[in-house]
Amino acid sequence: MDTNKNLYTVIYSTVLVVVVAVVLALASYLLKDKQERNIEIETKQMVLKSVHLGTEAATAADKAKYIEDLYSKYIKDTTIQEGDITLQMYICTLDTKDRIYILPVHGTGLWGPIWGYVALKNDFNTIYGTTLDHKGETPGLGAEINTPAFCKQFEGKQIFENGNFVSILVVKGGADPTAVNQVDAISGGTITSKAVEAMLKNNLTEYLNFFKANLKEPAPVVPAADSTMTVPADTTKAAIKTPIK
């Protein structure tokens, strides 16, 4: 065949494209199980990081086994039913026997998906830990959401204020140090920071009935016997299908 003719160029290009496509498809098929396994291990590691576990994964002789062993020891996967919606949740039982409730969150940043896990203490109000990640945020700016410094700000913050759900505000220019529900936004990464704020509010809102059914409120103050104050009637929390006992 005359290599100078257009027909040769068309045939050559077509064969090359077909060969490359077959090779890529075969590689994807052969590596599918390994890729899914890596995603599973990465997910479990993020869940563990939200409760400050698995910190030695990078230096472990067998990283996958190290994470799997910790996960099976401390974490239990479960779901709760809210109407027609099934919500994922992870329960971590620490060595102290304290329970921590880990909720997955996901949203959209400036350049792509963002996601993470928020761990709540058993008052269903106070954040125990948070881990966040992204697919394509700008290095040095929005990508800073997955750094320990940014995530650590959430520890001890509260998602309720005076009994009202407020979630966590990510504040440009600096959070009010006295506010229980504010953290600092990333300098130069305002859009991604606000995307994190929206993600937390949108996802945590889905669990509101669960929170309210299990929220631990301060014990009522009983007045002295000679007081003329009236003790308010007990308030019954809204029931859900899977309250925590």
Give domain status of residue 146, yes or no.
yes
Asked if 119 and 50 touch (Cβ cutoff 8 Å), the reply is yes
Tokens of residue 198, six digits:
């929206």
Q: How many CB atoms lie within 10 A of CB 172?
A: 13
Q: How far apart are CA 79 and CA 82, in angstroms?
A: 10
Q: What pLDDT does residue 239 have?
A: 36
Give domain status of residue 11, yes or no.
no
Give domain status of residue 32, yes or no.
no
Asked if 182 and 171 touch (Cβ cutoff 8 Å), the reply is yes
Name the residue range of residue 208's domain: 77-214
Count: domains in the chain: 1
List the one residue out of 205, 206, 203, 164 whose CA is nearest residue 181. Answer: 164
Give domain status of residue 8, yes or no.
no
Tokens of residue 146, six digits:
């997955």
pLDDT in tens, 203-228: 999 999 999 888 765 444 444 444 34
Give domain status of residue 58, yes or no.
no
- For CA atoms 85, 211, 105, 198, the dihedral sign is positive
∠43-49-54 over CA atoms, to 5°? 95
- The pTM assigned to this predicted structure is 0.76
pLDDT in tens, 51-96: 999 989 989 999 999 999 999 999 999 998 888 889 999 999 999 9
Asked if 176 and 182 touch (Cβ cutoff 8 Å), the reply is yes
Rounded to an integer, the average pLDDT of 239-245 is: 46
Q: Which of 15-19, 156-160, 166-170 has the lowest mean pLDDT?
A: 15-19
Give domain status of residue 161, yes or no.
yes
∠45-48-52 over CA atoms, to 5°? 125
Q: What are phi and psi of 11, to 5 degrees?
A: -65, -45
Find all residues with CB under 8 Å of 175, minimum gap 6, and list them: 153, 169, 182, 183, 184
Give domain status of residue 15, yes or no.
no
Per DSSP, the three-state class of 169 is: strand
Per DSSP, the three-state class of 65 is: helix
pLDDT in tens, 54-66: 989 989 999 999 9
Facing residues of 76 across strands? 91
**Residue 190 in this model has a pLDDT that exceeds 50:** yes
Beta-sheet pairing, 169-171 with 182-184: parallel
Q: What pLDDT does residue 204 have?
A: 97
**Residue 245 in this model has a pLDDT that exceeds 80:** no
Give domain status of residue 199, yes or no.
yes
Q: What is the 3-state secondary structure (H, E, C) of 111-145?
A: CCEEEEEEEECCCCCEEEEEEEEECCCCCCCHHHH
% of the chain exceeding 90 in pLDDT: 66
